[in-house]
A and B are shown apart, each in its own frame.
Chain A
Amino acid sequence: MLQLSGVDVRYGQIQAVHSIDLKVDAGQLVTILGANGAGKSSTLRTIAGLVRPSAGEIRLDGVQIDGLPPERIARLGLSFVPEGRGILTTLTVEENLRVAAIGARATSDFDGRRDDVFKVFPVLGERRKALAGLLSGGEQQQLALGRAMIHKARLLLLDEPSLGLAPLLRDLVFAQIVRLRDQGATVVLVEQDARRALAIADWAFVLNGGRKVLDLPASEALSSYRELEAAYMGSARH
């Protein structure tokens, strides 16, 4: 589904990602772990087309996507929810969903898809006419996932979806991530709550200093989590 080979990412003089290889199979939920600054967000932003890799290539279902503009990559079926959720605060809840439908060229099917989102996240239906900037953090995260649902993305990249959410809302967000995977989406999850991410993931990649250091089934990572945390996530404790 998604394949990165030898990807380097540079911001000017600073190299954030060193020759990373990743392979994600269709239908999998994988999580990328690592301390702050390990290169997790840079990797996601590069896959989504916000940053051009300085070396290597990225393929989505065999199609080379590195170098394409973000909207082209999105239209190939990839949906990236950046950290901070990327809500359009001056638009209403429903308009946020409509922008996703416009982007997915699915405006003729919008009403149906929107109602599906409202079924999963009833609070969005209740507040559909409200400005998205007035929603709580949890509601905004639901809206971000709702936009990904409108997109019917085949590949979902989520950067810190549970950051800043109350425990109850985290449960809802994690449940929805699992549901999206069960409905056939492939998910790449970067998550501060690493244990919880591993509990729902199939596979895990561990990054350290911009390099991939481990590539293993999530269950193995979970059973050796203490060692893993001590070795690679020391500075990630909040």
Chain B
Amino acid sequence: MAEVLQQLVNAVSLGAVYALMALGLALVYSVLGLINFAHGELMTIAAYTLVFSSAAHVPLAIGLALAIGASVVAAVLMERIVFRPVRGSGPMTLLLTSVAISIMIQTAFQMLISPLPRGADLPDFLYQAFDLGPVRLGVLPLISATTAIAGSWIVVKALRATNIGISIRASAENFTITRLLGVPAQRVVIWTFVLSGAVAGLAGVIWMAQRGSVDPLMGSTPLLKAFVATVLGGLGSVPGAILGGFALGAAEIVLQAFLPPELLPFRDAIVFALVIAVLTVRPRGLLPAKLGERV
């Protein structure tokens, strides 16, 4: 029982971070039909910002704000410089553009900072653990899960309750109709990137804190997981991305805990095989985005 509870805590903690990352990808995809493969680099930018500010003895709270701010600014610049010129192009152009910018940012980090990992100088209490009944809780996983869930919740709430959020959802369903109603396309796109940059920044600092360091390629693995989670949940569906993130996290934890040791190296392959199995039954994902009428 204690073992099951323990794994449940781990699954929620990992799933919440995947959900947060998938949410950022899904937001941009839902509005622009663009899978932003440079989303992982937004996470890396946030992680480097936090590492450098803690090295400069900036207080943690300010460092976190700077990190998320840097990721937001990077996302907005990315939209302006890279994605706006190819807006409305075919899916392949958008895909290759985002892969290209991802590689360019990784290379820039390698040349300008260092190819080697840089350790994070984070407070010790994050890496402690305490017992709650039979379950041993790490402080960091607990904080990760709560902030990731809170972050996702705030974004979902904002999409329902704010003018810009409703405009984003309207544009995701049918950009043409939304513009015919007078909503400026450009503003919707910029805000979409702001939100996506913010969740990427938050996910980036959480991811970095968990692994203890940042390197130029840090964003690759989470980007892959987030991509799988969005496809599993239903590409372009925000609730789907969140569900997909939790499902992926749970699958990884369950396999990690119960696979025989000789099969453990194949954990990710088995997880992806499971995802493919789900997609053969539900090709549009667990919670598909509804297709709007097109004009």
Chain A positions near chain B (C-beta within 8 angstroms) = 48, 50, 69-71, 74-75, 79-80, 82, 84, 86-91, 95, 98-100, 102-105, 107, 133, 147, 151
Q: A69 to B185, Cβ gap below 8 A?
A: yes
Q: B166 to A80, Cβ gap below 8 A?
A: no
* Complex Cα gap A79–B174 (Å): 16
Q: A70 to B166, Cβ gap below 8 A?
A: no
* Complex Cα gap A137–B184 (Å): 28
Q: B180 to A70, Cβ gap below 8 A?
A: yes
Q: Which of B143-201 contact A (CB under 8 A)?
A: 163, 166-167, 169-170, 172-174, 176-185
List 8 extra interface pairs beyond A71-B181, A86-B174, A99-B167, CB under 8 A: A48-B180, A50-B180, A70-B176, A86-B295, A88-B174, A99-B183, A107-B163, A151-B182
Q: A99 to B293, Cβ gap below 8 A?
A: no
Knowing A84-B295, A98-B166, the reply to whether A74 touches B182 (Cβ < 8 A) is yes
Q: A100 to B181, Cβ gap below 8 A?
A: yes
Find chain B residues with CB under 8 A from A133 CB.
290
Q: A88 to B176, Cβ gap below 8 A?
A: no
Knowing A100-B181, A103-B182, the reply to whether A50 touches B290 (Cβ < 8 A) is no
* Complex Cα gap A79–B180 (Å): 7
Contact of B179 among A74, A89, A91 (CB under 8 A): A74
Q: A89 to B183, Cβ gap below 8 A?
A: no
Find chain B residues with CB under 8 A from A87 CB.
293
Q: B163 to A98, Cβ gap below 8 A?
A: yes
Find chain B residues with CB under 8 A from A100 CB.
181-182
Contact of A104 among B177, B182, B290 (CB under 8 A): B182
- Which residue of B has the minimal Cβ distance to A96? B170
- Which residue of B has the minimal Cβ distance to A94? B166
* Complex Cα gap A79–B166 (Å): 19
Find chain B residues with CB under 8 A from A86 CB.
174, 176-177, 180, 293, 295
- Which residue of B has the minimal Cβ distance to A76? B182
Q: B181 to A89, Cβ gap below 8 A?
A: no
User: Does any Cβ of A come within 8 Å of B134's Cβ?
Assistant: no
- Which residue of B has the minimal Cβ distance to A85? B293
1/0 per residue, CB under 8 A from A, across B283-295: the answer is: 0000000101101
Looking at the assembled complex, report how far the CB atom of B176 sits from the nearest CB atom of chain A, in whole angstroms. 7
Chain B positions near chain A (C-beta within 8 angstroms) = 163, 166-167, 169-170, 172-174, 176-185, 290, 292-293, 295
The 5 lowest CB-CB distance pairs between A and B, nearest first, are: A103-B182, A74-B182, A103-B181, A86-B177, A71-B179
Contact of B170 among A80, A84, A88 (CB under 8 A): A88
- Which residue of A has the minimal Cβ distance to B187? A71
Looking at the assembled complex, report how far the CB atom of B87 sits from the nearest CB atom of chain A, in whole angstroms. 12
Looking at the assembled complex, report how far the CB atom of B114 sits from the nearest CB atom of chain A, in whole angstroms. 45
Please, could you name 13 A-B residue pairs with CB atoms under 8 Å apart, sorted by A?
A50-B295, A69-B185, A71-B179, A74-B180, A74-B182, A80-B180, A86-B295, A89-B293, A90-B169, A90-B292, A100-B181, A105-B182, A151-B181
Find chain A residues with CB under 8 A from B167 CB.
99, 102
Contact of A75 among B170, B177, B182 (CB under 8 A): B182
Q: B292 to A88, Cβ gap below 8 A?
A: yes
- Which residue of B has the minimal Cβ distance to A102? B163
Find chain B residues with CB under 8 A from A99 CB.
166-167, 170, 178, 181, 183
Find chain A residues with CB under 8 A from B170 CB.
88, 91, 95, 99
Find chain A residues with CB under 8 A from B174 CB.
86, 88
* Complex Cα gap A41–B181 (Å): 18
Contact of B183 among A82, A90, A95, A103 (CB under 8 A): A103
* Complex Cα gap A27–B15 (Å): 59
Find chain B residues with CB under 8 A from A147 CB.
181
* Complex Cα gap A155–B30 (Å): 31
Q: B166 to A95, Cβ gap below 8 A?
A: yes
- Which residue of A has the minimal Cβ distance to B167? A102
- Which residue of A has the minimal Cβ distance to B177? A86
Looking at the assembled complex, report how far the CB atom of B27 sits from the nearest CB atom of chain A, in whole angstroms. 15
Find chain B residues with CB under 8 A from A70 CB.
176, 179-180
Find chain A residues with CB under 8 A from B290 CB.
89-90, 133
Contact of B173 among A80, A88, A103, A105 (CB under 8 A): A88
Looking at the assembled complex, report how far the CB atom of A160 sits from the nearest CB atom of chain B, in whole angstroms. 13
Q: A88 to B178, Cβ gap below 8 A?
A: yes
Find chain B residues with CB under 8 A from A107 CB.
163
* Complex Cα gap A79–B181 (Å): 7
Q: B169, B174, B177, B295: which has the most chain A beta carbons within 10 Å?
A: B177
* Complex Cα gap A74–B178 (Å): 10
Find chain B residues with CB under 8 A from A79 CB.
180
Find chain B residues with CB under 8 A from A98 CB.
163, 166
* Complex Cα gap A79–B178 (Å): 12
Q: A74 to B295, Cβ gap below 8 A?
A: no
Looking at the assembled complex, report how far the CB atom of A194 sits from the nearest CB atom of chain B, in whole angstroms. 23
Knowing A50-B295, A102-B167, the reply to whether A71 touches B177 (Cβ < 8 A) is no
Knowing A89-B290, A99-B178, A100-B181, the reply to whether A82 touches B166 (Cβ < 8 A) is no
